[in-house]
Amino acid sequence: MESILKRVSESPILLPDPLSDWECAHVFNPGVIYHRGLFHMFYRAQGMDLVSRIGYAVSEDGIHWNRLRSPVLVPASSNEAWGVEDPRVVEIEGVFYMTYTAFGPPKGRAILAGGSITPMLAQSENLITWKRIGPIIQGEDNKDHVLFPRRIGQYYVALHRPRPAIWLAFSRDLRNWPREKMRFLFGPREDNWWDNVCVGANGAPVETEHGWLLFYHAYDKERVYRFGVALLDLEDPSRVIFRPKDPIFWPETIWELYGNVPNVVFSCANILVNDTVYVFYGGADHVIGLATASLKDILDYVRYHE
C-alpha cells in the first residue's frame, strides 16, 4: 500500500535547538496557518524541564524556517503548569484563533498521565500576542480540538475528542459550548486494522466543493499512529459522506519510528495553498516533518476509495 501524502524530505524540517533553554529537547505537533504569502508555524516545544511551550516560526516555502527566539504562549495558570500543547490555528472573520491543550496537576479526578487536561481557546490580531478566551469543555479526557475555519449557520463549530471518538461542539460566542448541542461524529472501527482504538482530529477541516475535508489520526492496539481522511457535509458537518477504510500516511522514517514516543506521526495542520495540501506533523514527539499531496488526489481518494 502506498501513502497518498508524500514527504518533502527524508529529514525533518525543524529540529530542537540545543542552545535554547525552552526548545532544546523536543519540537513537535505544529499548527500552521498560511497568511499573506507566508507560512506561520506554532509548534509545541520542550526544554530539559519537559514543560511544553508554544514557539513561533515563519517561512516562505513551508520548508525553511526562521524562529522567534522566545515562545508566544507559555503556562500562565495552575491548569497549564505542566504545559500548553498541540496548537491548531484558524482565521475567522479577520481574527486568529488558537486551540490548545492545557496540562496541569490533577484537580479532583486525574484524567491523563497523573494530571488534568483542558481544551483551551485563545485569540490574536497579529499572530504573536495571544489572549486567552477560556476552555471549550472541562472535567474529562478531552483534547484534539480545532475550530472550523468559518461559522456554520449562526454557530462557531469545533471538533473535539472525548476519548475515544470525535465529536462536534457548537457555540454562538466562543465562550459557551452547551453539552446538549454536542454531536457525535465518528469513532474507532473495531473491525478495522489501523483505527480500532482511538481517533482524533488533525488540523482544521478544509472547505471544498464536495464537503469539508477532514484529516484525522488514529492508533491501533500497538499504539502506532496513522492518518486517515473523511469528507463531511458542508452545512451539516455531523453527516459523514465518505470515510475510506485505509490510512493515507504512517510512520516510516527512523525519526518517526524512534524518538521520545515511537511510531508516531501527529498533525495539527493541513493547509491548502493553491492546489496543494501541506500536512505538517510531529515525528515520534521529537521533530517536525512535512508531507504534501494535491487536493485533487486527496479528494479522488476519499470519494472513490472504499
The per-residue pLDDT for 109 is 55
The architecture CATH gives domain 6-304: 5 Propeller (2.115)
Q: Please determine, for residue 146, whether its predicted confidence score (pLDDT) is greater than 80.
A: yes
Which tens digits make up the pLDDT trace of 88-99? 999 999 999 999
Give residue 222's pLDDT. 97
13-46 confidence digits (pLDDT tens): 999 999 999 999 999 999 999 999 999 999 999 9
Specify the residue for cell string 499504539.
223
| Helices and strands in the chain: count of H runs, count of E runs | 2, 21
pLDDT of residue 139: 81
What pLDDT is recorded for position 106? Answer: 84
**Per-residue pLDDT, 115:** 77
Name the CA radius of gyration of the chain, rounded: 18
**pLDDT confidence tier of residue 108, bands split at 50, 70 and 90:** low
DSSP 305: -
**SS3 at position 24:** coil
How much is the pLDDT for 76? Answer: 96
pLDDT at position 96, please?
98
Range 267-293 average pLDDT: 98
The whole-angstrom separation of Cα 267 and Cα 250 is 11
pLDDT at 243 over 70: yes
Strands 26-35 and 183-186: unpaired
Give the model confidence (pLDDT) of 193-228 as tens digits: 999 999 999 999 999 999 999 999 999 999 999 999
CA 269 to chain centre: 6
Model confidence pLDDT, tens digit, residues 42-69: 999 999 999 999 999 999 999 999 999 9
273: Cα separation from own chain's centroid: 18
Mean pLDDT of 249-272: 98
**pLDDT at position 110 over 60:** no
Q: How far apart are CA 78 and CA 16, in angstroms?
A: 26
Q: Where are the domains of the chain?
A: 6-304
Distances (CA, A) of 125 to 35, 81, 95, 174: 12, 25, 6, 16
The pTM (predicted TM-score) of the whole model is: 0.97
138 confidence band (pLDDT: 50, 70, 90): confident
Q: Is the pLDDT of residue 141 over 90?
A: no
**Residue 39 three-state SS:** strand
CB of 142 closer than 8 Å to CB of 99: no
